[in-house]
Amino acid sequence: MRSTRRKFFLMGGIGAWLMGRSQLASAQSLTSRSVIPQFQRPTHLGTTFSPLQCYYLGVDYKAAFREICQLGLTRIRLGAYWNEIERSPGQFDFSQLDWLLDEAHRNNITVALAVGMKVPRWPEFHFPGWVSDRYDTKSGDIALDLRSPAVADLSLKFVDKVAKHYRYAPAIQYWQIENEPFTRLEIAGGRFLSPDFVRRKVALVRSSLWRSQKILLTNAIHLPSPKLSEDLPAFQDSLAVADAVGFNVYTKVPWGNSGAYLEPEEAFWDQLQSWQREIVREGREAWIAEAQAEPWEPKQLVANDRADYPSASPRRMQLLVDRLARSEYSTVLLWGCEYWYWQKWRGNWGVGRSASRATQH
């Protein structure tokens, strides 16, 4: 069964450091007890942080972010949530994102800011109520921007406002345009965006870039092996316009509600390595925008009813990051830092700390 990992409506904990590129290539090897002499760390190791996920987990986002900033990470991806910033037409509230950016800068952490109608965390597309009430934002077989040109125009205006507001923000080094815009994910209602629309948005943001700021685009890869009819065009469209191209790597996700899990096959890792070489050959930066570091479990949007799960552990995270670093991805962003803080809140901060120690040389 092929699937992108978000198909399963899952979120939660700590789970994946990839192993050496020539070692234990199958997904099952992530559970191996074999000893790797020395873990390798990518040039930039970071995470994605979302106040929305803190809300799902029931923890204070400011307290969580302060703790995450002390873990020794060098990059953090944040999202400019349309539904939070422009709750009413033309009325903008940047206070939450202002605080996060200031805190990151205070801790010498650089930021990749995701902007658009589709940014990290469920429900993927974050429309203000006044947009979804008036216009078609539902699923369909045609790119959303083509079906709803009014929504596309409003999204462009929102992104322009965000870009101008944060143009000189010292923490921001990268602007991510949408999140996996070309991938049709069931968790996102099958909605996707057209390459032409994404190019327009890239051009809009690029016109506001300050100094050495760059453009990032991200893509999903099907599990258990790539579906090149979808994955390859998405990669090529991203490579054509971005300064950095990122992939989202999940190593253990449920196979529906069967109790089994989907894990990457050898072809998955081979394709990831091949695309890394192509990105570098084209003079771009090769990123892993999401490396699984939280549990993905059946029938759970947020898996948080116990301390550990089959799909996530600090050891899996170590092995995942090691493998990605050996595949020469220069930036690896862990997915699930909010879960680490939730573990502390539950009295299990050792899980988060072990994840932090795993990130050190």
Farthest-apart Cα atoms in the chain, separation: 58
Query: From the centroid of its chain, how far is CA 296?
Result: 14
Higher-confidence residue of 176 and 71: namely 176
**pLDDT tens digits, one per residue of 215-229:** 999 999 999 999 999
pLDDT reading at 311 higher than 50 = yes
* Cis preceding linkage at 128, omega within 30: no
Domain ranges across the chain: 5-358
The amino acid at 52: L
**pLDDT tens digits, one per residue of 260-277:** 999 999 999 999 999 999
Categorise residue 324: left if φ over 0, alpha if ψ from -120 to 50, beta otherwise: alpha
Show the tokens assigned to 129. Answer: 């109520």
**pLDDT tens digits, one per residue of 157-200:** 999 999 999 999 999 999 999 999 999 877 667 899 999 999 99
Angle between helices 195-206 and 228-241 (to 10 degrees): 20
Provide the percentage of residues in the chain whose pLDDT is more than 90: 72
In this prediction, residue 350 carries a pLDDT of: 58
Query: Among 92-101, 108-117, 304-313, 335-344, which stretch is predicted with the lowest mean pLDDT?
Result: 304-313
In this prediction, residue 236 carries a pLDDT of: 98
Higher-confidence residue of 2 and 45: namely 45
pLDDT reading at 21 higher than 50 = no
Q: Report residue 358's pLDDT band, with 50, 70 and 90 as the boundaries.
A: low
pLDDT reading at 280 higher than 90 = yes
Range 253-274 burial, b when 16+ CB lie within 10 A, else e: bbbeeeeebbbbeeebbebbbe
Residue given tokens 């084209």 in the structure block = 282
In this prediction, residue 18 carries a pLDDT of: 26
Residue 65, judged by CB atoms within 10 A of its CB (0-12, 13-18, 19+), counts as buried
In this prediction, residue 12 carries a pLDDT of: 28
* Single pTM value for the model: 0.89
- Domain range 5-358, CATH architecture: Alpha-Beta Barrel (3.20)
In this prediction, residue 112 carries a pLDDT of: 98
Closest among 56, 39, 89, 121 to 341, alpha carbons compared:
56
Residue 209, judged by CB atoms within 10 A of its CB (0-12, 13-18, 19+), counts as middle
In this prediction, residue 308 carries a pLDDT of: 75
